[in-house]
Chains A and B, each alone.
Chain A
Amino acid sequence: MADLTKLTPGQRTLLQGNEAIARGALEAGVSLAAAYPGNPSSEILESLADSAASAGIYVEWSANEKVALEAAAGASFTGLRAMASMKQNGVNVCQDFICNLTISGTKGGIVLVTADDPGSISSTNEQDARFIAKLAELPLLEPSTPAECLAMMRFAFELSEQIGNLVVLRSISRLSHTRAGVTPGPLPASRPRPYWDPKVAWHTLPTVPRHRVMLEKLAQAGRIMSAAGFNAYRGPERPELLVIASASSALYAGEARDRLGVASRVGLLKLGCTWPLDEALLLKHLASTEQILFAEEVDPFIEDGVKALYAQHAPELGVKRFFGAATGHTPPVGELSPDVLASALGQILGREPATVDPAYLERVAERVAALVPPREFGFCPGCPHRASFWAMKQVLAVDGRDGLVSGDIGCYSLAMLPTGFKRANAVHCMGSGPGVAGGLGQLRGQGFTQPVITTVGDSTFFHAALPAIINARWNRSDFVLVVLDNSATAMTGFQPHPGTGQTATGREGTQLDPETVLKALGVPCQVVDPYDMQATQQALYDAVQASGGVRALILRRVCALVQNKRGGHPYTMSVDQDKCRGQDCGCHRFCSRVFRCPGLFFDEAAGKAMIDPVVCVGCGVCTQICPAGAIQAEPRKEAAA
């Protein structure tokens, strides 16, 4: 990311949606920003961290999302502007705080940015985090372009201060990761000095009267939002069909309308302020048409709200037809696109979207089906997780008691797939691995004999695993805790975490290592290098055979991609073509069929295993899996230690 304070006001620049959100916050005078990394939100805080020194503000990666929002609230109580950004899952993590913060209210402008992931491009779910606005009576903004990300962030801080409450801005993957021309405005010349008058208290009592105040704040927000210019109508005065759309779907809807050539028949109401809904605006447009189509991702949030509004006013408005998720005109799952909306418009208006020669489509589809295999996700070449899950696979097979692995969130979630030998039996949310294992480990008295391993990454360990480990220790559950310590929050882009000791802005922090924490909790703990397959398998086997209580193994080896950036891996790999027994090897191409490293393949023509020098990074692990000893590792001359 780059220092966003260096942009020239008034000069159009290519900015990612996430960078535009960060720039908007800087222009609004944000003084504290905190976040926990997670795609598609990570670049927001990364940009702010890279701008922190120039802007003179405080920016941190927090241990989790709840802590991040709480830190932002602290700053708000002193009168400063503050924000927390996260992916949709993070909103769940801080939901408890949100639902109480909204009662106490806030002082300095405070914004919660959630970057949702329709289509689950890089998530375990595609939950629609907009519902937090409804749940906690908070105003909700949904930008549709990077330029609007910037403008809405500026507005969000103002709005928050005007109503004295948190404001939610919801981005989505397609917007967070879209780059487009954005014209930055000026940065503030100064920021207020933080002060909290000790006579002032921020709390939730008395709750019920304060709930009434929350609703008044929301109504006030609605009035301010309706005048902000983020809701806009384009189309004829009395459209045959009205499309109500938000976020990227508003652009898709416009494009679908143009492509079908129905601009004179279809009106497009783009909503940027989606909670509370602008009732007067919606009633005016509902009165202008008989048919309404909703375009939003993922859940029918606006759709249900508008229908509820319509129900209140049906006697004046008369009969309307609504199309959307409820009628199957838009899918209730996954992303929308110009094509999905062209098809919905076409269906309603009785028009076929123009398409290319059907013979061409048929021919290409046939070639793709015949020639193009899927491309599975997998651990990177050299990934220590491949070696770690290899050990779990082997040890549980040798143990023979149908052992289970309770997985967690990170790159190692991919262990559900063949790349991790399908050795993750459960994967849900941050910290759920040891939580689920804790329950399993209490079933011994009821005849449950299967060994239980749980895996957590180093960042996940600090984020949410600790309460589950403490619970297991307290209640004397019985399982093996494997900390997959690759010294990075790798899945989301190698951000630092408590275990690395580095901080978001490069300032030195205090390094907390998992073994010290575990020892303090009384959990016996051993550190092993997963690249050393024999040592890892022995240590894991011993841990699985032991019983009674939680015992931990820290498999520590830096992420292979981080190692690539630090000067690379130590070896140049090759397969000794004389030693490789090829098809005649009793192992039936064990090295490529089972181990599945992208850098090691079986050359059908030669009938031998081969290293792909463009892909292989030279970690040397695969030398340990060939029964014939054919895989060779030569020290690389310029290798880093």
Chain B
Amino acid sequence: MKALDQEPLDLIVTGVGGQGNVLASQVLGRALLAAGYQVTVGETYGLSQRGGPVMSMVRVTQEKVMGPVIPAHSAAALVSLEPLEALRVLGTYGHPGVVVLTNDRPLLPLNVIAGADRYPELAELKQALSENCAKLYWLPATETALTLGNPILANVIMLGALGATGLLPIGAGEMEAALGAMFPESKMGVNRRALAKGAELAAAA
């Protein structure tokens, strides 16, 4: 078991209900636990499949048992499956040293669709994120997922990207094994490709 650079290593996975946020955090949790770490994954769902924002918190230590809630402004990394949600969560959990990885594909809130609110220009959003974190990975995860045949794969692509940042004490192999424990082998081919694509995107960012 590799020593952690910081303890606890606090990660947030956020997005919109239905994007596979809980699954992504569960893959991280399983992979880290299998590597010998103590992991606590706090999930918020319920109404979450009904279009609202969702967030999972993954807390990693060598020994200590952590609560399921990360204190404000102390996440080491923030993985977002939707760009607006990245900024929303940065407002509460960000700090100058946080690393942000976000999918660049907007999902419009209903209130924006109705014309009551405005979705920011992507350039504005990207700038606000990059100016307020240590490093921003602005990644075309949905677009890449569509080339693999299904937009839902954006979550696995983002995991692949996170694995390539060097922030985790585990590598792609452990995440692949965790995915393998949750999916039948027939679905693993596309999941492996999604992990690899994510890693490529992060390396190029």
Give the interface centre of B52, B71, B151 by most chain A CB atoms within 10 Å.
Answer: B71
Residues 227-255 of A, flagged 1 when their CB comes within 8 A of B and 0 if not, give 00000000000000000000010011011
Report the Cα distance A377→B52, complex, angstroms: 5
**Chain A positions 596-639 with a Cβ under 8 Å from a chain B Cβ:** 596-598, 600-602, 612, 614-615
Query: Contacts of B88 on A, CB cut-off 8 Å?
Result: 368, 372, 375
- Rounded to whole Å, the gap between the CB of B36 and the closest CB of chain A is 9
- Contact, CB under 8 Å: B71 / A342: yes
- Rounded to whole Å, the gap between the CB of B80 and the closest CB of chain A is 12
Query: Contacts of A378 on B, CB cut-off 8 Å?
Result: 50-51, 110
**Chain A positions 259-292 with a Cβ under 8 Å from a chain B Cβ:** 259
| B44 sits at the interface (CB 8 A) | yes
- Rounded to whole Å, the gap between the CB of A98 and the closest CB of chain B is 25
Report the Cα distance A414→B108, complex, angstroms: 19
Report the Cα distance A321→B128, complex, angstroms: 46
Q: Main SS of chain A's interface residues?
A: mixed
- Contact, CB under 8 Å: A380 / B50: yes
- Contact, CB under 8 Å: A615 / B107: yes
- Contact, CB under 8 Å: A596 / B151: no
Report the Cα distance A542→B202, complex, angstroms: 60
Query: Contacts of A561 on B, CB cut-off 8 Å?
Result: 49
| B16 sits at the interface (CB 8 A) | yes
* CB-contact partner of A592 in B44, B53, B71, B114, under 8 A: B114
Q: Residue on A with the closest CB to B127?
A: A367
- Contact, CB under 8 Å: B113 / A592: yes
Residues 339-367 of A, flagged 1 when their CB comes within 8 A of B and 0 if not, give 10010000000000001110011011101
Known: A179-B25, A251-B66. 18 other contacts (CB 8 A): A122-B47, A174-B67, A178-B42, A179-B29, A180-B38, A338-B71, A356-B73, A360-B132, A365-B91, A368-B90, A372-B84, A374-B111, A378-B50, A418-B110, A592-B114, A597-B113, A598-B110, A601-B112
* CB-contact partner of A179 in B43, B47, B131, under 8 A: B43
- Contact, CB under 8 Å: A598 / B113: yes
Pick the 10 closest A-B CB pairs, nearest first.
Answer: A122-B46, A251-B67, A373-B117, A368-B91, A371-B120, A178-B68, A179-B41, A375-B109, A367-B128, A39-B46
- Contact, CB under 8 Å: A601 / B16: no
* Tally of B interface residues using CB under 8 Å: 62
| B203 sits at the interface (CB 8 A) | no
Query: Would A252 and B105 be within 8 Å (CB), given that A367-B87, A377-B51 are in contact?
Result: no
- Contact, CB under 8 Å: B40 / A248: no
| A173 sits at the interface (CB 8 A) | yes
Give the interface centre of B69, B84, B131 by most chain A CB atoms within 10 Å.
Answer: B69
* CB-contact partner of B43 in A145, A178, A338, A360, under 8 A: A178
Q: Residue on B with the closest CB to A119?
A: B44
Report the Cα distance A361→B38, complex, angstroms: 31
- Rounded to whole Å, the gap between the CB of B105 and the closest CB of chain A is 7
Q: Residue on B with the closest CB to A359?
A: B96
- Contact, CB under 8 Å: A596 / B114: yes
Query: Would A364 and B91 be within 8 Å (CB), given that A356-B73, A598-B51 are in contact?
Result: yes
- How many contacting A-B pairs (Cβ < 8 A)? 188
Report the Cα distance A357→B97, complex, angstroms: 11
* CB-contact partner of B53 in A179, A375, A598, under 8 A: A375
- Contact, CB under 8 Å: A612 / B108: yes
| A313 sits at the interface (CB 8 A) | no
| B72 sits at the interface (CB 8 A) | yes
Query: Contacts of A39 on B, CB cut-off 8 Å?
Result: 45-46
- Rounded to whole Å, the gap between the CB of A636 and the closest CB of chain B is 15
- Contact, CB under 8 Å: A338 / B50: no
- Contact, CB under 8 Å: A181 / B39: yes
- Rounded to whole Å, the gap between the CB of A251 and the closest CB of chain B is 3
Q: Residue on A with the closest CB to B43?
A: A177
- Contact, CB under 8 Å: B46 / A368: no
Report the Cα distance A179→B50, complex, angstroms: 22
**Chain B positions 53-79 with a Cβ under 8 Å from a chain A Cβ:** 53, 65-73
Query: Contacts of B111 on A, CB cut-off 8 Å?
Result: 373-376, 418
- Contact, CB under 8 Å: A178 / B71: no
- Contact, CB under 8 Å: A252 / B72: no
Query: Would A600 and B113 be within 8 Å (CB), given that A356-B73, A368-B90 are in contact?
Result: yes
| B125 sits at the interface (CB 8 A) | yes
Residues 99-132 of B, flagged 1 when their CB comes within 8 A of A and 0 if not, give 0000001011111111101111000110010011
Query: Contacts of B132 on A, CB cut-off 8 Å?
Result: 360, 363-364, 367
- Contact, CB under 8 Å: B39 / A180: yes
Q: Residue on B with the closest CB to A177?
A: B43
- Contact, CB under 8 Å: A356 / B50: no
Report the Cα distance A342→B87, complex, angstroms: 25
Q: Residue on A with the closest CB to B97?
A: A356
Report the Cα distance A371→B25, complex, angstroms: 27
Query: Contacts of A480 on B, CB cut-off 8 Å?
Result: none
| A476 sits at the interface (CB 8 A) | no
- Contact, CB under 8 Å: A259 / B91: no
Query: Contacts of A614 on B, CB cut-off 8 Å?
Result: 105, 107, 142, 146, 151
| A14 sits at the interface (CB 8 A) | yes
Report the Cα distance A13→B33, complex, angstroms: 8
Query: Contacts of A424 on B, CB cut-off 8 Å?
Result: none
Q: Residue on A with the closest CB to B59?
A: A180
Q: Residue on A with the closest CB to B82?
A: A375
Query: Would A174 and B41 be within 8 Å (CB), given that A374-B111, A379-B50 are in contact?
Result: no
| B135 sits at the interface (CB 8 A) | no
| A589 sits at the interface (CB 8 A) | yes
Query: Contacts of A14 on B, CB cut-off 8 Å?
Result: 26, 29-30, 33, 39, 41
Query: Contacts of B198 on A, CB cut-off 8 Å?
Result: none
Query: Contacts of A377 on B, CB cut-off 8 Å?
Result: 47, 50-52
- Contact, CB under 8 Å: A380 / B49: yes
Query: Contacts of B16 on A, CB cut-off 8 Å?
Result: 375
| A585 sits at the interface (CB 8 A) | no
